[in-house]
Structure 1
């Protein structure tokens, strides 16, 4: 199960709460997935801008305005995403990080940060959005094009996951106090097309605005151990939640009177 990542990498993930896996996808494959994302965005047309209000405040002075394109549950829009969800290159790493053979889907989301106006994300944990009993939930950010600092790469606070759930400010989104958790103090994780950044849902992270002349295109997969149960249903509308990506769901029970 751990043959795709080294013991050193696994130890680093446990200690720091994140791991950048280089070249999980090939460059040509990443480019094709980038085309899938932008084609999907074109089919969906202009929709509501999901930029957080706190993100606009964060970007003030950096860019005149900020925008963001996104799509939840991408595997229901294109089979290319469905195939990648169960690709062993991804699921084997996910299983190793979870510490068990089984990997269950929570949700997927595509993000496109447009050139020069791509919105930032203030520092936060993902935990407040979908808290779980055992905190097994983790994220994988697939990079379909390069994400240097100027494109607003993800930034993390190493070891922050060890503090457990933190108190967040809720103002239409969940984020940490900006005077205590400054984006510029976090460690940047620049990535190349084909790289995948994994982090726990307790790891404090955010990202800056895209000030470059090229879009930043990523795909987020949130996954968990199937034996870890959600503490509420605030994210229960995600399509495909509970789909097994690797192994089995040992908690599954047949319904009486069915079949």
Structure 2
């Protein structure tokens, strides 16, 4: 954590590796985000692109049914100004700053829509294998566009598991001895309301069960890192390097021009 004074939010996050900001977005803030979320999904479905993000591997096979799927795209801010506004919202960034400090850089965002009755699971995993940073100062924030109940396949976490550090093979694709000790069935269930935002460390073990309800689960995940940290070379995920607050201490002419 930062050497700056630690707030109640910061203390909770440091101990547990997550923080549930309830009601962070008001109904008036949420309305345009819901509208544009649905518009993005419609545009994706019309595109003919491959937009199913269901994982392969033993763990998914254990949890899922045939036909389960999850709609997905990166970087909703490239579709919608309303979503860019949400990432720049003072209330959202105030919470992020309590966790990361004053320099907040956007790595990428992701839209996930779990269809009713057939929404694919995400097995228990850490995020670091996909976009490691030098100092492990990377967090995610899940913006809940709809309610997310346990039956709808809401987020599950193991509180404090970020203290385990980097776990080899913790990308969630295949079972291993460490992940066997942290089964998704025993993880803490974080049910949420539309407008809630759940922040978590990229070393926190997390996942979600299938959506077996009659309602669609809609979320946007925002991946951010400390402006004094940097992503390890070779990262294949989009690294937007967009400063949401403060300063990017490692920006250069070359990095600013990179796609």
Alpha-carbon deviation of 1:47?
3.4
Structure 2 counterparts to residues 1-259 of structure 1, below 5 A: 7-45=7-45, 46-48=48-50, 49-54=52-57, 56-60=60-64, 63-98=65-100, 100-168=101-169, 174=173, 177=176, 179-236=180-237, 238=238, 241-253=240-252
- Superposed CA RMSD: 2.0
Deviates more, 1:119-128 or 1:9-18: 9-18
In 2, Cα distance between equivalents of 1:169 and 1:15 = 21
CA distance in 2, matches of 1:7, 1:169: 30
Q: Is the 8 A contact 1:116 1:210 kept in 2?
A: yes
Give how far 1:235 is off: 2.7
Give the whole-Å Cα distance in 2 for the aligned partners of 1:169 and 1:93: 27
Report the secondary structure of 1:150's partner residue.
coil
The answer on whether the counterparts of 2:128 and 2:202 sit within 8 Å (CA) in structure 1 is yes
Distance in 2, matches of 1:212 and 1:57, equals 19
Residue 214 of structure 2 aligns to a residue whose secondary structure is coil
Whether the 8 Å contact between 1:111 and 1:217 is mirrored in structure 2 is yes
- The farther-off stretch of 242-251 and 216-225 is 242-251
* Contact 1:120–1:152, Cα closer than 8 Å, also in 2: yes
CA contact (8 A) 1:59 1:66 kept: no
Q: What is the distance in 2 between the residues matched to 1:85 and 1:175?
A: 33
The whole-number CA distance in structure 2 between the counterparts of 1:105 and 1:154 is 21
Q: Number of paired residues?
A: 243
TM-score, normalising length: structure 1: 0.87
Structure 2 gap ranges (5+): 1-5, 255-259
SS of alignment partner, residue 180 of structure 2: coil
Q: TM-score, normalised by structure 2?
A: 0.87
The question of whether the paired residues in 1 share the 8 Å contact of 2:125 and 2:170 is answered with: no
Partner of residue 257, structure 2:
none
Q: Distance in 1 between matches of 2:154 and 2:170?
A: 23
Alignment partners' CA distance in 1, 2:169 and 2:119: 24
List runs of 5+ in structure 1 lacking aligned partners.
Answer: 1-5
Q: Work out the CA distance in 1 between the residues paired with 2:43 and 2:227.
A: 33
Q: Distance in 1 between matches of 2:252 and 2:49?
A: 39
